[in-house]
Amino acid sequence: MNRERVEKDFSWIERLKLALKKNRRDPSSRYFQLATIRPDGNPANRTVVFRGFGPNEEIQLISDTRSQKISELKQKQNAAICWYFSDTREQFRISGVVKTEPSRGSDLAQELWQKISEQARSQFYWPEPGHKFEELAQDFSSIDVNSSTPPDEFCVLRFIPTEVDYLLLRGSPQARFRSYRSENSWISNRINA
């Protein structure tokens, strides 16, 4: 990669899209870590699946409305993403807020529901996440899944970035840029790695 081009043409969203394209052969490139804040103020972190981009650099993912992350986001919408691409050795640390969009009446939820596998859909019909495990008479593989309409337990999370710290770990010195949203545009500066 031409380091001069990285500096002159830096747009974190274009870099992220390019990283996804360059790393597409690695299935793990579609996974990133999402950190939220627990009610006691401690961080909570988990791996989630990237589901696409929305308007204004929004990053989309899906979740079960009964999950811990949803209750944490109801208390505080602030969250952070850490996304690492091993082939290109790029890291994106993204801060922002998360808007939760329920499945009822949402065209986006309907669209994403149609895109996920039958196995992924079935998880939204399982017992409530985080509760004590109990053996069930019903086999999870025999759950009747409505493939056309998402259940109430399905929701879309729209992560809206406010600040991005991008690090290209190749080369010496490494390249690092910090970008932040200022009204309707982004301001980016190269900083020391």
**Choice among 7-16, 68-77, 106-115, 147-156 with the minimum mean pLDDT:** 7-16
Q: What is the pLDDT of residue 146?
A: 82
Q: Token pair for residue 50?
A: 């990237």
Among candidate residues 61, 80, 48, the one with its CA nearest the CA of residue 156: 61
Higher-confidence residue: 123 or 7? 123
Residue 4 confidence (pLDDT): 45
Confidence (pLDDT) at 171: 87
- Tell me: pLDDT of 7 over 60: no
Burial class (CB in 10 A: 0-12, 13-18, 19+), 91: middle
Cβ distance 73 to 157 under 8 Å? yes
Q: What's the burial of 65, exposed, middle or buried (CB within 10 Å: 0-12/13-18/19+)? A: middle
Residue 62 and residue 156 in contact, taking contact as beta carbons nearer than 8 Å: yes
| Three-state secondary structure call for residue 4 | helix
* Whole-number average pLDDT of the chain: 91
- Give the residue-averaged pLDDT of 89-118: 96
Domain ranges of the chain: 3-102+156-191
At 139, is the pLDDT very low, low, confident or very high (cuts 50, 70, 90)?
low
For the residues 161-166, what does the mean pLDDT come to?
98
Q: Above 70 in pLDDT, residue 157?
A: yes
Q: What is the pLDDT of residues 30-71, one digit of tens each?
A: 999 999 999 999 999 999 999 999 998 999 999 999 999 999
Q: Does domain 3-102+156-191 have CATH number 3.40.50.1580?
A: no
Whether residue 5 is predicted with pLDDT greater than 60 in this model: the reply is: no
Residues forming a β-bridge with 101: 156
